[in-house]
Amino acid sequence: MAADPADPPRFSKIAETLISDLRGLPNDDPARARRRPTKSLATLVEELLQKHKVGREAPEHTIRENWPALVGSANASYSHPVVIERNRLIVIANHSVVRNELFHHREGIVERIRQLPGCDHVKTIILRAG
């Protein structure tokens, strides 16, 4: 069984270091670098587009569009839903009174959010100062 000439043999990092020392050649690889399989640029870009939801519909977009109706226009002008992480909606509120108001009404807000299409997985709201 012949080896494919396009696919060079892989050695461990220790073996490559020993071979480069034996030959007297510099080893340009960083000591703690980890080799990963090479991905095509198209695959990498597609993974990033999916991860950051660029050009795709996301539950965060639906929540942002309906935010004034969910919390009221006065509270919506001082707060901003950012991202859903682990079924928790992260909301930035830049006014302490609004943050307190949202905190006291968070159960009702979550119930209204869960009625939006694609947002039924949101369990709670995390409020952060911003």
Q: Enumerate domains of the chain plus CATH numbers.
A: 59-129 (3.30.300)
Amino acid at 73: S
Distance, CA of 48 to chain centre: 9
pLDDT top residue among 6 and 96: 96
Q: Express each pLDDT in 27-68 by its tens digit.
A: 777 777 777 788 899 999 999 998 888 888 889 999 999 999
Average model confidence (pLDDT) for the chain?
89
pLDDT tier, 3 (very low <50, low <70, confident <90, very high otherwise): low
Tokens 């073996």 label which residue?
A: 15
pLDDT tier, 2 (very low <50, low <70, confident <90, very high otherwise): low
